[in-house]
């Protein structure tokens, strides 16, 4: 479907930005290629402004997040912050498109685990491209944009007993959800004296974090969760030596 634009503001002098209103739903791509990653799908009636040069048939615009993105685990500091200069990817794989490079002041919150990568919520403006004229092209119906234009407010996590978890005003102490397999941390040769009894591992069996179960209230015995895919809600901190992560579990559910 071709996208039509209604001119709102005309440039009075050379170099002034031009604002347009989208007549239909329009995909914002990371590249000037309709097969590239879709940053967002803007609703018809959204006002967009060109922010730089683009090839013929395309317009470069700026889109506000939050975006769902991924960071390699090695690019996290001991304080669970993304290192400046680290690549932030569109997908959890090394050959995925790079959305942006982490810079000082970026708001990045860890929201999950995907093997060697952490899923993050990125609060940052990113530039993308919309097709115009003969190139006009909306995103395929089955394509998933990287963020919702009008995201719903997240609800507080709920424990297995149905009690809401109180969220702290400090985002570093905010409960987050992690997925993986719960296993015993003690291993005769590799880890004979672990600081915690349990750990969360990825699909390759590599530890993402230890699991502190002191605050955990379960209706079933924890043994029923061992060696099974689960989701854990809790806060994250470093171990005393700073070498590993610990999830202070507040709820645990089978997936």
Chunked mean pLDDT (size 10), the chain, 255 residues: 40 49 87 87 86 87 88 84 90 88 88 81 89 61 46 36 34 70 84 88 82 85 91 83 82 87
Task: With H, G, I as helix, E, B as strand and everything else as coil, classify residue 127.
Answer: strand
Whether residue 141 is contained in a domain is answered as no
CA distance to 28, 198, 201, per residue, from 182 (Å): 39, 7, 7
Pair 52, 78 in one domain: no
Half-sphere exposure of 191 (CA within 13 A, CB side): 15
Range of the domain at 220: 175-254
* Residue 32 shares a structural domain with residue 54: yes
Residues 14, 58 within the same domain: yes
Q: How far apart are CA 247 and CA 236, in angstroms?
A: 5
Same domain for 191 and 249, yes or no, is yes
Tell me which residue of 181, 178, 177, 179 sits closest to 228, measured CA to CA.
181
Nearest to 35 by CA among 44, 25, 47, 27: 27
In the chain, the number of structural domains is: 3
What per-residue confidence (pLDDT) applies to 196?
A: 92
C-alpha span between 122 and 66 (Å, rounded): 5
Q: Is residue 82 part of a domain?
A: yes
Q: Residue 43, preceding bond cis, omega within 30 degrees?
A: no
pTM: 0.53
Question: How far is Cα 171 from Cα 121, in angstroms, rounded to an integer?
Answer: 12
Q: Give yes or no: residues 95 and 131 share one domain.
A: no
């Amino acid at each position: 479907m071709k996208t039509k634009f209604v001119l709102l503001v005309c440039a009075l002098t050379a170099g002034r930005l031009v604002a347009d209103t989208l007549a239909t739903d329009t995909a914002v791509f990371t590249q000037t290629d309709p097969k590239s990653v879709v940053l967002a799908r803007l609703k018809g009636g959204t006002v967009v402004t060109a922010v730089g040069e683009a090839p013929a048939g395309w317009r470069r615009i700026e889109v506000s997040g939050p975006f769902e993105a991924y960071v390699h685990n090695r690019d996290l500091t001991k304080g669970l912050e993304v290192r400046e200069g680290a690549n932030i990817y569109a997908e959890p794989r090394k050959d995925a498109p790079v959305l942006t490079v982490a810079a000082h002041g970026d708001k990045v919150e860890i929201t999950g685990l995907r093997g060697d990568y952490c899923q993050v919520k990125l609060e940052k403006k990113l530039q993308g491209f919309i097709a115009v004229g003969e190139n006009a092209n909306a995103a395929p119906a089955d394509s998933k944009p990287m963020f919702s234009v009008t995201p719903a407010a997240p609800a507080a996590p709920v424990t297995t007993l149905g009690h809401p978890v109180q969220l702290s005003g400090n985002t570093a102490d905010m409960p987050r959800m992690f997925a993986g397999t719960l296993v015993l941390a003690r291993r005769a040769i590799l880890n004979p004296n672990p600081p915690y009894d349990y750990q969360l591992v990825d699909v390759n069996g590599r530890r993402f974090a230890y699991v502190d179960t002191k605050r955990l209230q379960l209706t079933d015995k924890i043994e029923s969760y061992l060696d099974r895919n689960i989701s854990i809600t809790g806060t994250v901190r470093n171990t005393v030596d700073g070498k590993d992560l610990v999830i202070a579990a507040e709820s645990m559910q089978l997936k």
